[in-house]
Amino acid sequence: MILPPAVLDRLTGLRFFNAGVFGGLPEDHLAVYRLLFEQGARPTVLFLGLEDVSLNDFQPVSDETSSYYELARQIYPAVNGPLGRFRHVAKLYHESISTDVVVDMGRSIAQRISPSEPINFFLPDGRLSYPKADRQIQSRTYDVDAEIQHTFSYISTLRRMALSSLRMQYLETLISEARQRNTKVRLFVTPYHPRLLAAIQKDAIAWQHHSMALEYYHSLEARFGIRVTDYTDENTFGGSPAAWYDGVHYNIDNAVKLIRQGVQDGI
């Protein structure tokens, strides 16, 4: 969600929009793609970043996709039609009776009464911005070491990951539908901060699962006639260890470098 469409526009002469979502999984990407197409978009290029854990078999579909009817119906046939929509709404009302919702309501009211700067927000071109963190990075007051340490939990996540056949099916459906519509599909494997990457490499099981996901992604090239590039190591796109929010989220400086390399690699 950090990738700036304006840089892609300038380098390719095309017009891009960042349709990334938080913790995006293959079903999220498929739902967004179908909805955009349904609303009249006719993309000529799909530039999609995928994490190792995008294929995990334990993470539920995001609340943003499952709770928004127009997205949910793209991947859940059972919610289509009047009866399906009624059931979907009823399910949301049932789920809203929870402590989490009450807490979120309180936070919303407090923010309304005493507004504060948001941690992040979306720009008109779909890019996500972290203004406070960016200012701290520029003033060298951002504790990136502590944030990187927090993301070492990715190692345990990778250790228990198994490839989900359902998630692979969602991804392959997305690629198939895009190729049938003559959309050029360009996938890349997202990078890790060098410190986190080194820790993953030292863990035999975590690195095995990373390699397993990477092997699957590369298998898609011959099967679907697409391009997959491995940017796991920031050196592959000339990244900087200083241009990170944490161990898995790079900031705008590395995002621009990744895009430039992506265009050179044949976006």
pLDDT digit string, tens, across residues 40-54: 999 999 999 999 889
Q: What's the pLDDT score for residue 30? A: 97
Under 8 Å between Cβ of 35 and 70: yes
Q: Which of 24-28, 59-63, 103-107, 248-252 is least confident? A: 59-63
Q: What's the pLDDT score for residue 102? A: 87
The dihedral region occupied by 182, where left means phi > 0, alpha psi between -120 and 50, and beta the remainder, is: left
Q: What's the pLDDT score for residue 58? A: 87
pLDDT range class, residue 215, cuts 50, 70, 90? very high
Under 8 Å between Cβ of 196 and 210: no
Q: Residue 200, Cα to own-chain centre: how many angstroms?
A: 20
CA distance 25 to 62: 8
- Domains annotated for the chain, with CATH where assigned, are 5-61+120-264 (3.40.50)
Residue 94 has pLDDT above 90, yes or no: no
Q: What's the pLDDT score for residue 164? A: 94
pLDDT tens sequence across 9-34: 999 999 999 999 888 999 999 999 99
Kind and range of the H or E run holding 186: strand 184-189
